[in-house]
Amino acid sequence: MELIDDFELNQQVQERKKEYIALCRYRLNRWKDYMEEQFNITEIEGVKTIHIKRYIRFCQELGKEKAITINGSIATLRVFFNDLVEEEFLDETDNPMRRIKNLKEERKIIHTFNDEEVKRILRDVKEYTYSNVRDKLILIILFDTGIRVSELCDIKVQDVTSKHIVIHGKGSKQRLIYVSRIMRRYMRKYEALKKLRFKNKHPEEIADYYFLDQSAERLSRSRINKILKEHCKNAGVRKEVRCSPHDCRHYFAHKQLRNGTDIYSLSRLMGHYDTQITSNYLRGLEEETILQIGRIKSPLNKVRL
């Protein structure tokens, strides 16, 4: 427990996000409980590679977690033990995670929005009230920049200029995203209505985040999910599209690739550490291209029946 506490403190010192620290804590506590119950191991020196493998197998046998979820737990354990090596609690040769590999994840083709659906979604949002314009701007930014919903929630007033927005991404990495013409137009509308909406509130009662709910507090991820799903339903989006904010990210990636943006530039825009992560977005795009080629080259195209 002391080492997990130390690890949490290190994460706080490195200014990791609270949600990330809480997730790491949950994963490590669950693993710790398993080690104590199954092997009666309470000292870090007693943990061997075989114990880690047994824990991974335990997670698999539960049948509730996909490989991608278990890989998240593996990643947390890897960071934890690497931290112990850096802090000299363990020698590198005693690190039980050295030979642990990630599980093979199922490679699914993700169906995302098409242009007509995006147009219908955005047109479905009215522009009568503060909330209307705020919601429309949120959807425009998700589709137009591909930022993560957590990044959108974390945008602060001081992060926004007329030409770019500072994004606080994963791993405390900052990057800039552009402000397009349509974004700038709706940002002006939103900022004017926001000023009017909270004119009777004391400045100290207004959160310094850019997007606020009706109480002048930071807008939540769950609320943004609901906003998108509501307008997707009204717009009649295909059933195979999940209608989550991450699908907006997929739409953005596909559009950028179709428009000729190279993988390196796209990875910078999306806040990826590695272009390999960005290349995953090619999967759905390649599938569409292959199907289109198949239709054009169909052997029965010229056969009259």
Q: What is the C-alpha separation between 271 and 291, in angstroms, rounded?
A: 30
Question: Which pTM was predicted?
Answer: 0.73
List CB contacts of 173: < 8 A, sequence separation 6 or more: 271, 273
Range of the domain at 54: 2-94
> Where do we find the tokens 């100290």?
204
The larger pLDDT score, comparing residue 40 to residue 298, is at: 40
> Where do we find the tokens 């080690």?
35
In the prediction, which pLDDT does 283 show?
65
Q: Across all residues in the chain, what is the average pLDDT?
A: 89
How many other CB atoms are there within 10 angstroms of residue 38's CB atom? 12
Q: Do the domain assignments include residue 102?
A: no
Q: Do the domain assignments include residue 57?
A: yes
Number of domains in the chain: 2
Which two three-digit tokens encode residue 199?
């004119």
Residue 126 and residue 67 share a domain: no
The larger pLDDT score, comparing residue 164 to residue 105, is at: 164
In the prediction, which pLDDT does 169 show?
83
How many other CB atoms are there within 10 angstroms of residue 267's CB atom? 20
- The enclosing H or E element of 50 equals helix 49-62
Residue 287 and residue 194 share a domain: yes
In the prediction, which pLDDT does 63 show?
85
Residue 139 and residue 84 share a domain: no
Q: Which of 108, 105, 109, 106 is nearest to 284 (CA)?
A: 109
In the prediction, which pLDDT does 299 show?
62
pLDDT tens digits for 43-92? Answer: 999 999 999 999 999 999 998 889 989 999 999 999 999 999 998 889 99
Instruction: Report residue 271: phi and psi, to 5°.
Output: 75, 30
Residue 123 and residue 79 share a domain: no
pLDDT tens digits for 188-240? Answer: 999 999 999 999 999 999 999 999 999 999 999 999 999 999 999 999 999 99
Residue 189 and residue 40 share a domain: no
Residue 88 and residue 119 share a domain: no
Name the pLDDT band for 289 (thresholds 50, 70, 90). Answer: low
Domain boundary residue among 42, 60, 94? 94
